[in-house]
Structure formats: structure tokens, C-alpha cells
Structure 1
């Protein structure tokens, strides 16, 4: 038993020595592997950091923040904005605030996500900041991802109609044909703006040969411009080529990149105001006038010689005009869009005059008043928002909206009127300007 016990004791001692030796070998192996692991991690971190710096040799925390902001922000961009670019850029964090003007729901300080153009700008800035001549085929994934962004065009925002009775304004329209220096060079007293379809060159030519041919009246400089949108439907390229050629010949066309149609007359009117504010604000007055009209410029200039210089709009002023609720009417407006039974005072679109301090104010007001498709009513709503009203002309017969048969005596006593269809306007102009008394 004793011998047996010694044997067991020897085996136990031998077992402990073996375990101790094995434990020492494990520690040495663990330390080696640990060092190897640390070395590998160091190499990987160094390689990654080197590639990032190669991707942006001017690397900084500011760049890294910009890159991540771009990467994470893009998927959350909103494409369903009905009133794009309506917010005031000075208040990018503002939230919608609904108010009412004459019962019309308005939008104040509506903040929206940037449009595709803004995302493109952010992405292009990021690429410009990070793209360097040191890139090779072995560029890091970050470099490859940014390079791919540079070559991929953003998906255009699908057009979302704001509805049948409102139009897409404010919006970032721009002028594709412009006469930006004419007012600065010629310093007109009165600017005439005639909205007309791009393919309606015949009306433009008639106006150029009649009342639009008067560049100085009673010592006052008068300047004429035609305002166009973009032709749609068949023959778009041909019409645009003709417009470009006409612009070179006459230098009196202003064209913006909205679709030219009846519903978009409000857009056309607001682009007129934007243009006047940007390029012709030193003139005294501007007149918007339809193309199928007769204009008596000497009587108009005489009227404006005694007119207010600021906050002035006049024309055929409609008062207590009823809102038309018959869906078959050309000017129908539903109750839920405008609940009041009557519109505020507004000057009919046949032809109205405004002092040149008003365009800037009306454009600013348009950011708070939903853009109805009835352009003259919409200007009345913007005037109401500003706390202003159009002024009646000195004589109620100066502005005639119903088409008139030509009479030399009658035409001498009005400022503007519609001309009946199938009338030879060139003959009217020739007869009106012949020598002798009008009446």
C-alpha cells in the first residue's frame, strides 16, 4: 500500500511538472500571437489612414463631417414638395405656419429639403474637396465611391402638379433669353411688357409696326419687351430656333424656362416682376399689356405724369368681384381653396400699370400667398397681403375690356382696349395716325 502510495505520489508530482511546463509554453505562444495580432492591426490602420489621406490630401475633421453629411443626407431627400423653394433662404430651419389673407390659406416660412440641384452641388463640392491626382487603380473603397458619385447624374425630380387651380410658383425658374442691359443703357420712363406665346410671332410683328414702335413719347423714353415661356407639343425645336433668330434680329424678347400655357399665366406674370426687379428697377413705371389690344401711349404718358411714384397700381380695377363656383367656368375656383365669396380689389389683366418699387414687394409677398392660376386675381391677393390696393384711373373709360369696333374718336379717348377679332390692326394704326382732328 505504501509503495502504491509512493507511486501515485510520483505520478502526481510528475503530472504537476508537466502541466507547469505546458502552461509556460502556452503563455509564450499567446504572447507571440498577441504581438502578431497587434502588428497586423497596426498595418491595417496605417494602410487605411494612408489611403484616406491620399483621397483627401487636405484631410481635416471638417472634410470628414461634410462627407458623412452628404452620404447620410441624400437618402432622406424629399421629392414630394408641392411648393418648391418657397421658404426664405435666410430662415432654413423654419417650420410651416398657416395664415389667411381674405380667406385664402397661405404658407409662411415653409422649409423644405433641398432639391436635386442642391444635392448635386453638395456632391460636386465633396468630390472637388476629395479628388486628387494621386488616385490609382489601387484606390481605397472610399476613393472609388466618391469617384463613382462624380460620374453618376442625379435622378431628376418628377414633376408633381400642385393641382388644377394653383401653379408651381415660387420656383427656381431662370431666363434663357434676356435683355439684361437695355434698361440700364436706355433708362426708360415706361417699360411695356407683352406676354405672348413663343409661336405667336405674328402678334409681335404687328405690335412692332404699330403702338410698340414708339420709343419716345412726349419726351419720355418708352421701351418694349415681349415675355415668353417655352413652347410645348409638336415642333418644339423649330419654334425655339425661330425665337432665337427673332431675338437676334429685334433684341426685344425675354424668355424663361416654364411651359407657356394659359394656366401658367401667373408664372409668366411673376417672372415679369422678377425681371423688372432685377434688370429694370430704375424705370418709373411698367405696364403689362395683352397682345390683342390698342394702346394710346400719349394719353397714358400724360396720365402717368401726375401719378404716384410708389405703391401704385392702376388699370381697370375690379371691386367686389364674385368668385365663380360653376365648374364649367373658365375662372372656376373651388370653395376649399378660396372660401370667400368675393375677391379683393384687383386690376384686370387686359393691361395694368405699376410703379417700379412694387415688383420687389410683390415677389416677396408671393412667398406667402398660394399661387392661384388666375393671374390678375393673384396679384390682387399679393397686394392685399402687402396692405395695398390698386388705384382707379382718373377716368373710368380709359381701360375697356370688351372688344371694340374701331372708331377714331373713341380710340383717342381711351388708354387701352381689346380689338375685335378679324380687324386689320395695321390699317387701324395707319388711320388713327393720319393728320386731322380725332373727333
Structure 2
């Protein structure tokens, strides 16, 4: 029965095909041939255009920090758990024990959140007096944890009353709590400064070439913000330290792999807001690992399938920094950051060196 139905179907098809062919005059065949050729050419052009679009799209993925922005980006807080604000990774009942909100009713280009040891009063003072001034475009806050010494608590309260730029979380400021501190940076940006177009996480012994930084963000990138962006001094193939003599020692239970994923040393990282949110969301549901650089900018960055942009070439090395400090005429070297772990004198001197320099220069050619 099945074979009979198939035979009747094919017979019907041949019948109508023969009638259709008889309808065409022989003179029409050249027209048909030309039409087929034209159709083939159109398909080829369309395919080439599609392939070109794929190449362009791939290039945009590789270099989208230069070509895209998140104008009007808003953090999708509704996708977070209802108790998210009062939770920090595995800490319940989290709160900001010292809080300031300079972003209120403003639209800063850059939010800078500076990791600081609570005892580093002088370092914070130097940052405020040099590159870290609060302006309409730039909001600077210092991130600290709880302290046990009563005298130090009183000093911090007094400092905050005077400057209004401390953010303290409800965990103790300790070496193994640095991941809490870093995730608190992301939490603060999301909940309390969503207007910021870029977020810089840095340390209190770092020098930021602020005039050139603003030029870079507003002109090289976009005054409206970037997307899928993380700029840092990238580190690759770093081994997990197992020696008991190393302060960076991790056990196999803490981290079983031999080598860390590519990651950013935490002293200077620029994030776009969407990346801040994606990393924060992952951190909130991922097991705690105390080396924040590796955990957040390595493991979690890999989870969200993001590529780092390496800016090593925009950091002064020690020799260049020494030359610039002793010979101001050599301060023309294009850079975003001084060498890591600077002392107060070096930060002050480098600020004097750069604050009046020409900043209208593109940095894109320096980025790898």
C-alpha cells in the first residue's frame, strides 16, 4: 500500500512538471538561464557580505572595548536573590558599617575604589592631595574592613567625618579577607554608584595619571561607557605556590590546579559596569578563595568568557619612574600608572611631574 501511494505521488509530479515545461516557449530559455545566473550572483554576494559581517563581529569581540559602549546601562538587580544586598559571598547579615555616597545625584565618568589598610592614614592623605581628588567626573572612595583596636576605630571615625570618603564592610580587615574586600567593591559600584561609566579598583600605594586617564576614557573609549571590558597588567602561567615559606601558599584542597588562569594583579584594574555585574553575580554564588586577584579576575573572568586587555606598556617601570622623578623633562613618557608599591614621596613628585603635561594623546596604540 505504501509503495503504491509513493508511485502515484511521483507520477503526479512528473505529469505537472511536463505540463509546466510545455508552457514555456523555447525563446524563454535564455531568459531563464540569465535569471538563474543572476540569482546565483546575488546569493554569492549575500554570502560574502555575511562572511564579512562575521569577521567584523569577531573583530568587535576582540576589540569591542574600543568600538562599543553601554549607553544607559543599568544593573539588572532584579536577577539577584532578594537577600543579596545583605550577603557577601558566604557572609550573612553583611552591612556597610561606614558608608558614604558621593555618587548621589551625579553622573561620574569614573568611580575609583581604593583598597586601603585602615592604618594607612598618611597614604590616603597623599592620594587625596594628588591624583585622587573628588570632582564631578571622578569619585574616589577608600575601602576598608573592621578593626579591633578601639583607638583606631575612633581615628577612622574622625577621618570619615573630615573627608567623607571611607567605605567599611562588616568583616575584619585581614590578609585572607581580601576577596571580601574586592567583592565589596563590586557590590558598592552596583548598588550605590550605578551611574559611573567605568570603575577603577586600585590600592593606596599606586599613582594614577588622572589627566591622561580621563582623556583615555572619554576620547579613546567613550564618555558613555564601555562594555565587556577589563584592563589590567595581565599575568599568565603563574604557578600556584605550595612552599610553606611563601605567604601566597595555597593547599591542593584550596586550589588543586598547578597553574592559575590568566589574571590581573589587583593594584590597578579598570572594569566596565556590565563586567562588574557579571563578576559580582558569579562571586556571590562561588566558593570563597582568598587570593582575590586570581579568584575574581582569573577564575571568574574565565567563567564569563571574557578576555583581558593587557596594559603593561602603560605602566612605568622602576627605572623610568626614577628618571622621571629626577629629571622632570623625561616625564613625557606616556603612561597611566606609576610602578606598583610607591611611597608617598614618589607619588607626590610624580603628580607634580604630570599635572600640567599635555594629555591630548591617544593610548590605543600602546595597548596589546
**Count, aligned residues:** 266
**Given the alignment, which residue of 298, 306, 309 partners 1:388?**
306
**Given the alignment, which residue of 133, 142, 146 partners 1:230?**
146
Q: Indicate if the aligned counterparts of 1:256 and 1:271 stay in contact, CA closer than 8 A.
A: yes
CA RMSD of aligned residues (A): 2.9
Distance 1:184 1:420, change over 3 A: closer
Distance 1:433 1:293 in 2: 16
Any stretches of 5+ residues in structure 1 without a counterpart?
A: 1-87, 92-116, 118-166
* Counterpart position of 1:282: 195
Q: Which has the higher strand share?
A: 1
Distance 1:373 1:391 in 2: 24
Equivalent residue of 2:290, what SS? coil
Cα deviation, residue 239, structure 1: 1.5
What TM-score, normalized by structure 1, do the two folds share?
0.55
Distance 1:297 1:392 in 2: 19
Cα deviation, residue 196, structure 1: 0.8
**Given the alignment, which residue of 340, 347, 351 partners 1:425?**
347
Question: How do residues 260-339 of structure 1 correspond to structure 2 at under 5 angstroms?
Answer: 260-305=173-218, 306-307=220-221, 309-339=226-256
Question: How do residues 66-85 of structure 1 correspond to structure 2 at under 5 angstroms?
Answer: none
Distance 1:346 1:241, change over 3 A: same
Matching of residue 413 in structure 1 with residue 329 in structure 2: no
Q: Indicate if the aligned counterparts of 1:316 and 1:400 stay in contact, CA closer than 8 A.
A: no
Q: Indicate if the aligned counterparts of 2:89 and 2:283 stay in contact, CA closer than 8 A.
A: no
Equivalent residue of 2:293, what SS? helix
Q: Indicate if the aligned counterparts of 2:106 and 2:195 stay in contact, CA closer than 8 A.
A: no
Q: Which has the higher helix share?
A: 2
* Counterpart position of 1:173: 94
Deviations 1:221-250 (A, max 9, x none): 011111111113xxx222212212221211
Cα deviation, residue 173, structure 1: 1.8
Q: Indicate if the aligned counterparts of 1:345 and 1:389 stay in contact, CA closer than 8 A.
A: no
* Counterpart position of 1:187: 107
The list of structure 1 runs, each at least 4 consecutive aligned residues, that deviate by more than 4 angstroms after superposition, is 88-91, 400-404, 419-422, 434-437
What TM-score, normalized by structure 2, do the two folds share?
0.65
Deviations 1:23-55 (A, max 9, x none): xxxxxxxxxxxxxxxxxxxxxxxxxxxxxxxxx
Any stretches of 5+ residues in structure 2 without a counterpart?
A: 1-79, 360-368
Give the structure, 1 or 2, with the largest relative contact order (CA under 8 Å, sep 6 or more). 2
* Counterpart position of 1:164: none
Distance 1:318 1:400, change over 3 A: farther
Q: Indicate if the aligned counterparts of 1:344 and 1:381 stay in contact, CA closer than 8 A.
A: yes
Q: Which protein has the larger Cα radius of gyration, Structure 1 or Structure 2?
A: 1
